[in-house]
């Protein structure tokens, strides 16, 4: 059985912004964590290329939509490589394979008698690609997400009988594990309790979309097409891209991680579409919060957009990952503050974790011939071994519950306690007396061993920093040994060489 995790499929109207980097980093950490636990992971990301928004963006640039999509999709792909994102599948919804899956799915839904022709009238946000529930003063109302006016639409469209699935959707969303966090679940329960309305799944005024097979001039509504990207991505390695092969290759998804603004699509429309097509619904939809900048919404008009490329080239991957994972509780909104960012990186990564490794390794090299001390008394009966055991257990529990901030805090807290242990025991004083050598060996061994465990715990969170810690401890992680086994105390081998230390993370300056 595979563990299937997905990011949203990002619109290609623009290059990736910090919000997309955020979701993708979180998914990447979860995917790495599950792989380390021995699961067969399928981590899906990709791009959502059709629809009016993309069509207009290309028109404004004076190029055809396909050329525009090729250009931006490439940027997304390169971007994820730069961020060291370990995705398994990258789906483009303009691909022929995907179109095939959409057509097959549509046929199934039609056979369930869930498609009919009707007239769609309403106020539409092109940014969201969504009809809004007739807000007050609709003509002057601005979508709070895109700050743009709504557009009036009145056209003949094909509809999907969502209303037929009222009872089944109520049951699914009331399940305690389907929607997280609970505030989001309650929003959806509220929305569904007002009664589900059928929604239109085709457009007549959008040429940049997948043509509906039996209706000239109709293309599929971009959301109907995009959600199926998850399904086509899974079967992309099979001989043939099809619903059957998707099911055989791992569908349903274990978790769709998305922003809170697109929850309705994933937690209501999508399950109903899948039931109609005789397919299983995803196991979980997690709606994370929004990122703001120094307390304000990020937006081009406000001039406060944080360019992820700049962040990456200026600070590197680990600092940005650490801030986004550790400082924001997944599910809540989070704020990116420059000063806080610098302080957190300097305190947590440079002073606490980096310094712990650097000073202990230096002492060990100086006193024990560039090696880990040969500690005869490796035992679990010491304070640090006990603390590490508790930290590891709690970290695993938190990570399994997708509380990544708390898992990251567990690692940090073990590093803080290890530093305290070192300071309390003062091996640099003890070493002055020859009789103290055994006890100094034990202290240094324990601290290095705890640092080894810290490095391992960082593997899914900060893979690059973790690998530097590994290098400095003499490349001790073993691919062939289960990761969880390696989290046990006492595996650092006495007398093994310690390479010359270098700072694993540079301190940042606040400008
Ligand atoms: N194309 C659709 C998703 C289709 S999934 C089958 C879409 N794309 S998007 O590019 O507009 O948005 C992608 C994700 O970015 C959404 O989950 C949205 O919530 C998220 N974010 C947009 N702005 C954000 C922040 N400021 N902060 C965090 N996430 C944000 O919607």
CA distances from 251 to 97, 228, 232 (A): 17, 11, 10
- For residue range 11-41, what is the model confidence (pLDDT) as tens digits? 999 999 999 999 999 999 999 999 999 999 9
Query: What tokens appear for 504 in the block?
Result: 């694993």
| Residue 8 φ then ψ, to 5° | -65, 160
**For ligand 1, mutation pick of 72, 94, 261 (most atoms within 8 Å of CB):** 261
In this structure, the strands spanning 285-288 and 255-259 are parallel
* Ligand 1 atom 30, closest CA: 19
Enclosing H/E stretch for 397: helix 383-400
- Global pTM reads 0.96
Ligand 1: distance of its center to the CA of 290 in Å? 9
Q: Which atom of ligand 1 lies nearest, measured to the CA of 258?
A: 17
pLDDT bin (cut points 50, 70, 90) of residue 132 is confident
Query: What tokens appear for 149 in the block?
Result: 């006016």
Distance CA 428, CA 449 (A): 18
Distance CA 287, CA 258 (A): 5
Distance CA 29, CA 457 (A): 11
How high is the pLDDT of residue 487?
97
pLDDT bin (cut points 50, 70, 90) of residue 266 is very high
* Ligand 1 atom 6, closest CA: 227
How high is the pLDDT of residue 300?
66
| Residue 13 φ then ψ, to 5° | -70, -20
pLDDT above 70 (res 153)? yes
Query: What tokens appear for 326 in the block?
Result: 């550790």
In this structure, the strands spanning 255-259 and 291-293 are unpaired
Q: Which residues contact 382 (CB under 8 A, 6 or more apart)?
A: 442, 446
CA distances from 100 to 18, 29, 233, 236, 409 (A): 32, 32, 12, 11, 45
Question: Alpha carbon 479 to chain centroid distance?
Answer: 24
Pocket of ligand 1 (CB under 6 A): 8-11, 19-20, 22-23, 48, 226-227, 229, 258-259, 261-262, 290-291, 298
């Amino acid at each position: 059985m595979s563990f299937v995790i997905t990011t949203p499929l990002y619109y290609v109207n623009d290059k990736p912004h910090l919000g997309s980097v955020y979701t993708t980093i979180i998914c990447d950490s979860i995917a790495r964590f599950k792989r380390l636990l021995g699961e067969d992971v399928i981590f899906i990301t990709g791009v959502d290329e059709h629809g009016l928004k993309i069509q207009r963006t290309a028109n404004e640039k004076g190029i055809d939509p396909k050329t525009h999509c090729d250009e931006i999709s490439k940027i997304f792909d390169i971007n994820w490589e730069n961020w060291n994102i370990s995705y398994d599948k990258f789906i483009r919804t303009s691909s022929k394979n995907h179109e095939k899956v959409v057509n097959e799915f549509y046929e199934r839904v039609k056979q369930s008698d869930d498609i009919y022709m009707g007239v769609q009238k309403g106020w539409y946000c092109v940014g969201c690609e969504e009809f809004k529930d007739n807000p007050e003063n609709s003509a002057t109302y601005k979508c709070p997400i895109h700050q743009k006016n709504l557009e009036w639409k009145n056209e003949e469209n094909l509809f999907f009988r969502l209303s037929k699935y009222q009872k089944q959707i109520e049951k699914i969303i009331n399940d305690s594990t389907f929607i997280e966090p609970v505030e989001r679940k309650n929003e959806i329960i509220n929305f569904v309790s007002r009664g589900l309305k059928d929604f239109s799944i085709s457009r007549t005024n959008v040429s940049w979309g997948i043509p509906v097979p039996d209706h000239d001039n109709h293309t599929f509504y971009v959301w109907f097409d995009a959600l199926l990207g998850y399904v086509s991505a899974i079967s992309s390695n099979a001989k043939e891209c099809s619903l059957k092969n998707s099911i055989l290759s791992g569908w349903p998804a274990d978790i769709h991680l998305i922003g809170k603004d697109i929850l309705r699509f994933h937690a209501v429309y999508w399950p109903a579409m899948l039931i109609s097509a005789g397919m299983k619904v995803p196991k979980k939809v997690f709606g994370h919060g929004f990122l703001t900048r120094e307390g304000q919404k990020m937006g081009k008009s406000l001039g406060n957009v944080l360019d992820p490329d700049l962040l990456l080239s200026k600070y590197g991957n680990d600092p940005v990952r650490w801030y986004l994972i550790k400082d924001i509780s997944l599910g809540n909104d989070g704020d990116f503050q420059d000063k806080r960012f610098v302080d957190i990186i300097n305190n947590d990564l440079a002073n606490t974790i980096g310094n712990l490794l650097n000073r202990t390794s230096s002492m060990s090299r100086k006193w024990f011939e560039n090696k880990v001390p040969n500690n005869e008394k490796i035992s679990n009966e010491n304070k640090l071994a006990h603390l590490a055991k508790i930290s590891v257990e709690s970290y695993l529990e938190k990570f399994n519950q997708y509380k990544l901030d708390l898992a990251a805090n567990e690692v940090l807290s073990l590093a803080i306690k290890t530093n305290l242990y070192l300071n309390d025991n003062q091996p640099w004083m003890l070493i002055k007396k020859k009789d103290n050598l055994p006890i100094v060996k034990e202290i240094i061994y324990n601290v290095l061993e705890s640092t080894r465990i810290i490095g391992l715990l960082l593997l899914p969170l900060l893979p690059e920093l973790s690998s530097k810690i590994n290098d400095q401890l003499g490349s001790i992680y073993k691919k062939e040994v289960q990761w969880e086994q390696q989290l046990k105390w006492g595996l650092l081998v006495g007398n093994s060489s310690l390479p010359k230390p270098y700072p694993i993370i540079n301190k940042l300056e606040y400008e």
